[in-house]
Amino acid sequence: MSGQNAMDKGCERLAQRLKFGDTYAENRVLCAPLAGYTDFAFRKLCYRFGAGLCFTEMVSAKGLLYNSEATRKLLYKAEGEEQTAAQLFGGDPSVMRSACESEYLAGYQTVDINMGCPVPKVFKNGEGSALLADMPRAEKIISACKASGKTITVKFRIGLDQNRVVAAEFAKMCEGAGADMITVHGRTRDRYYAGEPDYAAIASAKNAVGIPVIANGGIFSRADALKMLDETGADGVMVARAAMYDPHIFAEILGRPAAWDRRAAIEEQIADMLPFYGENYTVVQMRKMTAFYTRGMHGGARWREKLFACDKVSSLLSLVAEIFGDEESVSAENSAHTSD
């Protein structure tokens, strides 16, 4: 099979609907839960470019128990997000089940349990990737959440370090405890997001279970996604940091050409966020997102310096118009030179 035919076959496979538990993903290219990024306005953009399933930001089960306003806001879904899954983290099985059964998650069919977060604050509380070293408690958490009646997925890393890779064993435990799907991040906790993912470890998890397995880690292009499929045999892929820089990556991976009007996307995100979050939060969040979207642009460093000086939505919108007006001028100028 030629390289192009293999790529086409891979894209066809990724475009297929994926069933897990009592629900499904529209295709097999999923958007990862990203703390501080995957709010409803950003998810809307990812869905437009073809993401098969998106997840909320990481939500604290204890935060829901204590009726935290900030935590509840993380669970807001926009119209058309029926399939979006909530991601919970916590270390107490009873608290996790209570969160799943709470009114805050009433609109969510699928709950993803975070067992991979590497940050010290979460790890030291015995949550996130700390559960890789406490399989009996991890099993109780999954079983408790499954007893809520929700479709349960689990996202975890392959181990704490290279001497403690537990991908296959942990995957089997997840399936046995009732998980309907797992996502395996192919790096150990100590590596955070550095280096190439361990394809063999992800493949070992895939070969150990009968439920769908999603592969995560180091996917920044269609070629990365197809390599991940080929190397691991996974049922789909999950895109994380690459989506922050370019939500259009879902269209690229699926082989669905789609123009990305970055200015229009930024303006739409601001319009969606402003009534819900208010001016201060919207400005801070969209300065950050606009900085990602302008990476690699001509004069990007200069624009980012101006960007982080914006303290009002109006000034941010004016600068966005200036940035992308300037980009269009540069593109036109380059085209003129090319045609000479």
Q: Which of 117, 145, 174, 310 is catalytic?
A: 117
**Per-residue 3-state assignment (H helix, E strand, C coil) for 121-168:** HHHCCCCHHHHHHCHHHHHHHHHHHHCCCCEEEEEEECECCCCCECHH
Q: Is residue 117 annotated as part of the catalytic site, yes or no?
A: yes
Q: How many CB atoms lie under 10 A from the CB of residue 146?
A: 20
**What's the rounded Cα separation, in Å, for the pair 66 and 262?**
39
Structure tokens, 108? 């969510």
Beta bridge partners of 213: 182
Q: Which contacts (CB < 8 Å, 24+ apart) does range 203-207 have? A: 203/231, 203/232, 203/233, 203/234, 204/167, 204/168, 204/171, 205/158, 205/167, 205/168, 205/170, 205/171, 206/171, 206/232, 206/233, 206/234, 206/235, 207/168, 207/233
**Per-residue 3-state assignment (H helix, E strand, C coil) for 206-237:** HHHCCCCEEEECCCCCHHHHHHHHHHHCCCEE
Place of tokens 């009996």: 136
**236 φ/ψ angles, rounded to the nearest 5 degrees:** -175, 180
What's the gap between Cα 300 and its chain centre? 25
Structure tokens, 152? 């349960």
How many residues in the chain?
340
**What's the rounded Cα separation, in Å, for the pair 332 and 158?**
48
**What's the rounded Cα separation, in Å, for the pair 270 and 279?**
9
Place of tokens 């991890």: 138
Catalytic residues: 117
